[in-house]
Structure 1
Amino acid sequence: MIGRLLSARTLPTPCLTWQQQVFVVMLAATPLLAHANPSNFGTFTRDASPVPGSIVSGTYRTPQNATGRFKIGAGATTGYGGYTVQTGDNGIEIKNEVNTNNDRDKFTYTITITPDDKTSIHTIKIGQASYTTNGNSEVARQTLSHTTNPNFSVAAQATIRDNPSVEYFFGAMGDYFMGKRLSRNSFSSDNTTNQPQLRVDSFSGGNNNLYYYNLTALNGTGNSNSFTPTTNANGYVSFASGRKRGILPPTPTFENILKENSTNPNNQNTYAVLSSGTVIPNNSSYVSYGIENSKSNYIIAVRNAESVTLTYDGIMQGNSALEADVVGETYNEWISFGVESEPLYVFSGKVFNDNGGINDANADASTIGGIYNNNRYFNGIWDRTPSASPEQGIADSTIRLVNNCTNPTKEYGRQTITTADAGSYQFVLLPTAIDNSATPGCIIETRTNASYPIRTTSATNSILFSASNFTYLDNNFGRVIDKNAALVLTKYQYINHCPSALDYPNISNTADDTPLTGFSTKNIDKIEPGQCIAYKITATNRANKSIDNFVMQDILQQAGKNSATVTSRLTNPAYNTADYATDSVAIGNNGTVKTIPLSLAPQTQRSFYFNTKYGTTMMP
């Protein structure tokens, strides 16, 4: 870490001359918050003198009020001139002090805990900094080892708890990560990059190195907005005289100097993101990228661990402050440990606006395409990213935790979500309060508020209680407002002379003032008794989920009802008769045109056709 000051840097709506009614019946197929610094690391109190074999020891209290003792042991250190330890109400933080006389910086610490109680599972947590808000991390390999608490038969397991997208710090990452290509030989420097911090360790046998350098320190012309390096006879760029700032990757052609464009050996497929929920095997490693302490919010949780040993190796090639070919010179570096406990069952989730980040003010019930060509809209998944337009929580739903989805006889908890909850809910219950029998439990979401009336997920989440799993996260429920409904219906009409055959799909849509030459959404203002009107009703599924059990109904006009002055009857030619229900109106009769239950695949549309005979008798 660098311990120095950081610079802030529409389709038209169908309109007819009489009232038409189109009905649709459809059924849609079925948090722990991140902080600027990781929170809920527990309260740590130091002993006046550490126990033998440790650099610091004392007592802790978890956020769940379980207690125990801890000690920290230190292993071999390279490139640091000492350490500072801070304890308090958010874990224990160790700051390793800078020593710029050595690169290839490395430190090792082991935290060992002894819980006071034998009835709850304690989890050791790891984060970047739990108190400090200045400074930043560098690129490093972190190797994690752990031992299991012998009081339980559950093997210790390290899991990525949180690894959200955060802003990389240029002073640690350099233009190898944060430069952008404007054209083949023109680049811009120090661009904002938001991506997850923790990565799969691709650093194998000295290959797939990561590099720090500054584009504007290269031999060339321009500035940070547009910089053109100069190449030599081999097509390689180089640092300008007296301006060496970092180390260039091998064969530094225009194609290789940025990581996202690099072809050999450091291509964009190395150091893949470690997703939340990923298990880190014992004695294995991962890589952390350079983030300011105030923005880092990853958490690694090692469940049921008696001890955790973390070894930190700086691996970045090059540095922002030294004109030398250093490796892993990380300056100051922070690491934090915490402890949480789980004597309780935890059920949590979010009721969210499944609008794909579309502003509700821009929603339109008749728009097809445009903002709705969005793979996050109406997909039944709470999309937390991109950071610029994540899906937001919804208030006013009631969440119930019960013993059965179909016929609940026990209610374990009930919560009504308020605005302050930002859509989130959580039940925390003693294991003795849960009937973890063979029958699955259930979380049910309901609401009486008329806003967000359309579901994008099931109303229920089945929960199979387990004696070895206390945490049930992401039981989320999606909804949208009326204007963001998945289904868009557009009704077209076409005046015809009742032929024996109509090639419906090949009758084109027309923009004529009256629907005389093709299907149109315009008003019918010139028609004679005895003529026919063909209809096309197009159903568009804008969502990223299937619409199942879709039933289209259209009531033919009848004289004396809804201001109609004539009666229309279904007439030939018919189209795709297999699509229509047995109780749909028969040819020659007036009534309701009705389809069988159908399915509309995501982001597709389907058209239905039928012809009607305009009445020969008009009411006065």
Structure 2
Amino acid sequence: MGDYFMGKRISRNSFSSNNATSQPQLRVDSFSGGNNDLYYYSLTALNGTGNSSSFTPSTNNSGEVSFGAQKRGTLPPTPTFENILKDSSTNPNNRNSYSPLNTNTLIPNNSSYVSYGIENSKSNYVIAVRNAESVTLTYEGIMKGNSAIEADVVGETYNEWISFGIESTPYYYVFSGIVFDDNGGITAAEADASNANITSGAYSNRPNYFNGLFNSAFESGIAGSTVKIVNSCDNPTITYAAQSVKSSGSDIGTYQLKVPITDLGSQASVCLLEERSGTTYPIRTTTNKKTITLENAKYEYQNNNFGRVIDQNVALVLEKEQAANDCKVTDITSLTYSKDPLSSSETGAGADIKPGNCIAYKITATNRANIDINNFVMRDILQKKGDNNAKVTSKLANPSYQASDYASDSVPIGENGTVKTVPLILSARTHRSFYFNTQYGTTQSDTVDAP
């Protein structure tokens, strides 16, 4: 391997030496015809006439050159000009290997490369060696060629860089990541499960809160979880490795699972499972299962992270408000709703309600998270006399609001039961309100329980 600055061809069989040029030159080879010797030609060591400025080798009847009395190198088999000149070699592989290597070129396993007579300034040779018991790197170069003087001409070329690396197949597959508090920088003191305000305060402008991504600038790992690697997420029957995450220090929450390559065999994929006991950080912001597809020649799989939050940092906030009405209202969104409890009276004056009248409800669902809530279903059980000390029964009443939002098994008008929506998507950082009206029975109670 190296740059060999040999002889420049002047004419068909006339050459000059000491030329660092990309023009046709005599070639050097690392392997040819089973011979592992490096070929080097001292022009004036060949049979012929002239000197280093202009030398004409002689050829036999087959067009082959030969050495004279003072040998300077090794000739390849059948050393015709076509075979020893890089631009006209009859071997296509030889012609292809004459160009300079590009920076960071990878030499494949079980292969080699020699650049022939080219000033390969600051080129990088990168050798890929896999699972080698031992490696010997031999570098040879001709400094200035030969000028027809009797002297050793082996030295180092100039303006050349060599990078040498060894690749070994790992014994293990390695899976790593962190279990983290996905709070986006909201402290435990700021966290509030009932705070539905996403335009100001603690939950406004929090793009890293509850987004399923670990951001080390705002978030940290948490202790208490165990991560396993199993054969399948759907039906795990084999556990290859398990580890409790780090419990303290700067790497709290991190894990690294190692599985011998032989253990996985022909397995195309594996599954990472995150589990946790106790009551801390009960809410997930990511799935607890991750399918990892095993790629060819890839043995390390990083950033398999699992997010959680404390219960006060829950994504969904539900707010329920009510408004008394005479059951004749046609647009229940126009009523004035309040979270304050209602009281009952014979007249139903003001915010009071009397038996037989109606109470409309407004339920607002706010998604504070930075990810969508899929398959959101709103349910509300109407009051029934005798259940939870209720004194009267309420039934669903007109008017309805956006009837298409409600499921086919939701309570019908005039009946008591559960108000239920169809599965909906509650987009990230949004809120949505649901309205329905109810009519109370004619049996008066002392007070109507606040919904």
Structure 2 counterpart of 1:412: 240
Question: Residue 551 of structure 1 aligns to which amino acid in structure 2?
Answer: V
Q: What do the CA deviations read for 1:90-147 (whole angstroms, capped 9, x no partner)?
A: xxxxxxxxxxxxxxxxxxxxxxxxxxxxxxxxxxxxxxxxxxxxxxxxxxxxxx9545
Structure 2 counterpart of 1:428: 258
Structure 2 counterpart of 1:556: 382
Give, in whole Å, the separation in 2 of the partners of 1:560 and 1:618.
13
Give, in whole Å, the separation in 2 of the partners of 1:382 and 1:283.
40
Say if 2:332 and 2:399, in contact at 8 Å, map to a contact too: no
Give, in whole Å, the separation in 2 of the partners of 1:569 and 1:607.
20
Structure 2 counterpart of 1:382: 214
Q: Which has the higher contact order (CA 8 A, sep 6+)?
A: 1
What TM-score do you get using the length of structure 2 for normalisation? Answer: 0.59
Q: What do the CA deviations read for 1:231-251 (whole angstroms, capped 9, x no partner)?
A: xxxxxxxxxxxxxxxxxxxxx
What TM-score do you get using the length of structure 1 for normalisation? Answer: 0.43
Change (3 A) 1:409 1:520: same
Give, in whole Å, the separation in 1 of the partners of 2:360 and 2:332.
11
Give, in whole Å, the separation in 2 of the partners of 1:392 and 1:568.
49
Question: Residue 203 of structure 2 aligns to which amino acid in structure 1?
Answer: Y
Change (3 A) 1:457 1:442: same
Secondary structure at the counterpart of residue 361 of structure 1: coil
Give, in whole Å, the separation in 2 of the partners of 1:427 and 1:418.
12
Give, in whole Å, the separation in 1 of the partners of 2:443 and 2:330.
25
Change (3 A) 1:486 1:555: same
Structure 1 counterpart of 2:71: none
Structure 1 counterpart of 2:298: 469
Structure 1 counterpart of 2:339: 521
1:498 aligns with 2:327: yes
Q: CA deviation at 1:344?
A: 2.3
Change (3 A) 1:426 1:489: same
Say if 1:436 and 1:465, in contact at 8 Å, map to a contact too: no
Between Structure 1 and Structure 2, how many residues are aligned?
287
Secondary structure at the counterpart of residue 189 of structure 2: helix
Change (3 A) 1:343 1:304: farther
Q: CA deviation at 1:339?
A: 9.3
Question: Residue 223 of structure 2 aligns to which amino acid in structure 1?
Answer: A
1:402 aligns with 2:230: yes
1:350 aligns with 2:204: no
Say if 1:403 and 1:435, in contact at 8 Å, map to a contact too: no
Unpaired runs of 5+ residues, structure 1, are: 1-143, 154-281, 285-301, 308-336, 508-517
Structure 2 counterpart of 1:323: none
Among residues 297, 304, 315, which one is paired with 1:486 in the alignment?
315
Among residues 357, 365, 373, which one is paired with 2:193 in the alignment?
365
Q: CA deviation at 1:362?
A: 1.4
Structure 1 counterpart of 2:414: 588
Q: CA deviation at 1:340?
A: 9.5
Give, in whole Å, the separation in 2 of the partners of 1:524 and 1:304.
80
Larger relative strand fraction: 1
When the two chains are superposed, the root-mean-square deviation of aligned CA atoms in Å is: 2.9
Q: CA deviation at 1:563?
A: 2.6
Change (3 A) 1:488 1:304: farther
Q: CA deviation at 1:152?
A: 7.8
Q: Rg larger in 1 or in 2?
A: 2
Question: Percentage identity across aligned positions?
Answer: 50
Q: CA deviation at 1:346?
A: 1.1
Say if 1:496 and 1:533, in contact at 8 Å, map to a contact too: yes
Q: CA deviation at 1:371?
A: 2.0
Unpaired runs of 5+ residues, structure 2, are: 1-101, 112-121, 137-163, 344-351, 447-451
Change (3 A) 1:372 1:451: same
Q: CA deviation at 1:361?
A: 2.2
Change (3 A) 1:434 1:536: same
Give, in whole Å, the separation in 2 of the partners of 1:471 and 1:409.
23
Say if 1:436 and 1:466, in contact at 8 Å, map to a contact too: no
Secondary structure at the counterpart of residue 562 of structure 1: helix
Structure 1 counterpart of 2:428: 602
Query: Which 4+ stretches in 1 moved above 6 angstroms?
Result: 302-307, 337-341
Say if 1:356 and 1:376, in contact at 8 Å, map to a contact too: yes
Give, in whole Å, the separation in 1 of the partners of 2:129 and 2:418.
64
Secondary structure at the counterpart of residue 377 of structure 2: strand
Give, in whole Å, the separation in 2 of the partners of 1:435 and 1:494.
66
Change (3 A) 1:482 1:497: same
